Structure formats: C-alpha cells, structure tokens
Amino acid sequence: MSDFSVRELPLFPLPDVVLFPQQLLPLHIFESRYRMLLQTVLETDKRFGIVRINPENGEMAEIGCCAEVLQHQTTEDGRSYIVSLGQQRFRLLNITRETPYRTAMVSWLEDEPVADTDQLNSLRDKVSEALNDVVQLTSKLQNREVELPDDLPDLPRELSFWISAHLDQAASEQQSLLELTDTHERLSQQFEMLDHTRRQLAARTVLMDLK
C-alpha cells in the first residue's frame, strides 16, 4: 500500500546497512558531500533517506527508510556524530540530483491493511514466545545474562521491524524484510527462523546438560 504523497529526499546510500522504522542508527559523517547533506538536513526538517547499496554490484536498493536526526555533535575538524531514528519506508521514484550529494523523489510505503487482526495477534504471540525461548536458551548456553528490552514493541508491525533490525541476518535478508508490505508475511518468516533457531539451541542445551 503506497501513500501517494511524494517528496524529494536527500539520500545517504550505505553498503549493507538497512534501517527499519523506529530503530536507531548512529552515523559518523566525515565525507564533505555528506557534511553538506547534514547541514542542509539540519536546516530543514532533519530528514534524509538511508538506502542500502549492494557491495557486490554497487546497485542501490529501490526501497529505503527515512531517518530523522535526533542528536548531532560536530568536532573541530568538521566531522559529525549523529543519532538518527527510522521513520517511514519509501520507494525511490527517480534520482533528481547527483551532486554534491544524491537526492531523489520518493513515495511513502506502508504495510497493507490487516484483514484478520485476531490471526495477526496470535502470530505475534507465537513469534514473541519463540523470541523469548531463543534468548533464554542463548543465556543458558553462553552462561551469561541475555535479556530482551523492557520496551519491546507490542504491536505486530512494530515488533516485526524490531526483530528485522536485531536478528543476526545478512543485509540482503534484512532488505527483503524491509520491502515486504504484508505484516503477517514478515512475522511468518521470522517465526520460521526463530523456531528453527530455538530447536537448534534446545538440542545444544540437551548435549550440554549430558556432559
């Protein structure tokens, strides 16, 4: 489902970096073109686009995530350290400028409306349970405290974005999850992955207990 409002957005393409809505992304900005981008962004609405670049072929993804600058600190030599927060996802429509930094016209991207809320909530609960089991089993195997944050999202869509950002996955797999517009499908894929991990970890803990 696309929101048909279109806007121009400065782009910050990054190799193998995928930003998700409501997730934090710290950045170290030192290239002159991105210093200029940051200056422009801070003078306007503090928003710019994070887009993954495939390091194998140099291609830029068509779907990215808007980031908003929350904090910024500039050193004497002009480098900046910023903390940004993921906002809406977007689809690249066309590149409008290449220099001094890239800008593009984008349209916002949202998940499809949910047809069956009860079914989605049930899936969210299964995913949450599998996630908890994985964390507890990891704690036992590593003999150290591993905990989920207290403010783990409760809403299915937001939980799916949190898991997408925090599970140990290749950037290409993260990009696929970012591009999905079906919350149920995103959570379904995550349940399969978490359930598979849970079974592997459970088998390892059994072996550990037998030693």
Q: What is the mean pLDDT of residues 51-55?
A: 95
pLDDT of 181 = 97
Confidence of residue 211 (pLDDT cuts 50, 70, 90): low
Structure tokens at 57: 């072929």
Q: What is the mean pLDDT of residues 158-182?
A: 95
Prediction pTM value: 0.91
pLDDT in tens, 60-71: 999 999 999 999
Contact 37, 77 (CB under 8 A): no
Q: What is the mean pLDDT of residues 53-63?
A: 94
pLDDT in tens, 103-156: 999 999 999 999 999 999 999 999 999 999 999 999 999 888 888 988 899 999
Return the CATH architecture of domain 2-109: Roll (2.30)
Q: What is the mean pLDDT of residues 155-181?
A: 95
Domain ranges across the chain = 2-109, 117-210
Separation in Å, CA 137 to CA 10, 13, 78, 126, 195: 43, 37, 45, 16, 12
Structure tokens at 131: 């996630």
Q: What's the CA gap between 15 and 208, in Å, rounded? A: 39
Kind of pairing between the strands at 24-29 and 47-53: unpaired
Non-local (6+) Cβ contacts of 21 within 8 A are 65, 86, 87, 88, 89, 158, 161
pLDDT of 1 = 45
Q: What's the CA gap between 105 and 112, in Å, rounded? A: 22
Average pLDDT over the chain reads 94
Confidence of residue 74 (pLDDT cuts 50, 70, 90): very high
If 0-12 CB within 10 Å is exposed, 13-18 middle and 19+ buried, where does residue 153 land? middle
Q: What is the mean pLDDT of residues 5-31?
A: 95
CB crowding 16-51: b at 16 or more within 10 Å, else e: ebbbbbebebebebeeeebbebbeebeeeebbbbbb
Does an H or E element contain 15, and which? strand 2-15
